[in-house]
Amino acid sequence: MSLLRASGVQAGYGKVDVLFNGHITVAPGELVGIVGPNGAGKSTFLGAMAGSVRATAGSIEFENQSIVGRKPEDIVRLGLSLVPEGRAIFSDLTVQENLRLGLTGRRSKAGAELAMEDAADLFPVLTTHCDRMAGMLSGGQQQQLAIARALVSEPKLLLLDEPSLGLAPSVIQDVFSVLNRIKQTGTAVVVVEQRAHLVMSIAARTLVMREGHVRATLTPEDVRDEAKLAEAYFGTGEDKA
């Protein structure tokens, strides 16, 4: 039984399509990675899943229900939560207020307190700063806030768009160890990254996308296979972009 199943997804912005054939399957509790160069359509793919980008073709099913064309605020209530690229926290609101907003997408109001406590446990730094303006936090702290905010709605599937963007290496380590812990609680995770090595070692599978198509699927063993990586990333006979 797959939690998320997408195939033939086409999407873009305005009149220009960027994603031409997106497909993916995610089972409950799985961590799947999507990597690829800039412009590959990775963010667009996540956006199509979460409902912030409208898919012009293809099918996306969450728990066997089609979610194409549904509003983002409805999709999150089904259990699919997206942490957008660049963190997208509300800079003019406090940390606490940002987290409270995350509760809006919960399927049931019961258990909200517990969810907030769990988030506090995963990210103790947030409790220390809970009344600070979110815009004042460091990049790494903002990333943690963004993830915590998505977690308090207790999603079944968490989508992350380039969580490592703009973060120092040590901070990236922290973020990805948190992702691992999240996976261990049974939440499925899809992580989009430009840098493959970050994701490949913890992901059950890593999809490589280029120019709107999924070009290859890599497994953890392929991490050491440089040639296979290069080919998937850059394609045979093509210059580095």
Q: Does 56 bind other proteins (CB under 8 A)?
A: no
Contact segment (CB under 8 A) with other proteins among 61-69, 99-107, 120-128, 185-193 equals 99-107
Residue 215 CA to residue 209 CA, distance in Å, equals 5
The residue among 32 and 78 lying less far from other proteins, judged by its C-beta, is: 78
Distance CA 148, CA 134 (A): 13
Among 5, 23, 70, 100, binds other proteins (CB under 8 A): 100
Binder among 3, 34, 43, 79 for other proteins (CB under 8 A): 43
SS3 for 99? helix
Q: How far is the CB of 234 from other proteins (least distance, A)?
A: 14
* Spatial separation of the C-alpha atoms in residues 124 and 206, rounded to whole Å: 30
Tokens of 86: 């660049």
92, 125, 164, 241 from 186: Cα distances, Å: 33, 23, 22, 38
What would the two tokens of residue 53 be? 């980008």
- When asked if residue 111 is in the footprint of other proteins (CB under 8 A), the reply is no
Interaction of residue 3 with other proteins, rule CB under 8 A: no
- Indicate whether 138 belongs to the interface with other proteins (CB under 8 A): no
Cα distance between residue 111 and residue 62, in whole Å: 23
Pick the closer one to other proteins by CB: 41 or 163.
Answer: 41
Eight-state DSSP code of residue 185: T
Judged by CB under 8 A, the stretch of 86-94, 113-121, 176-184, 225-233 that binds other proteins is 86-94
Which residues, numbered 183-212, are part of the site for other proteins (CB under 8 A)?
A: 211
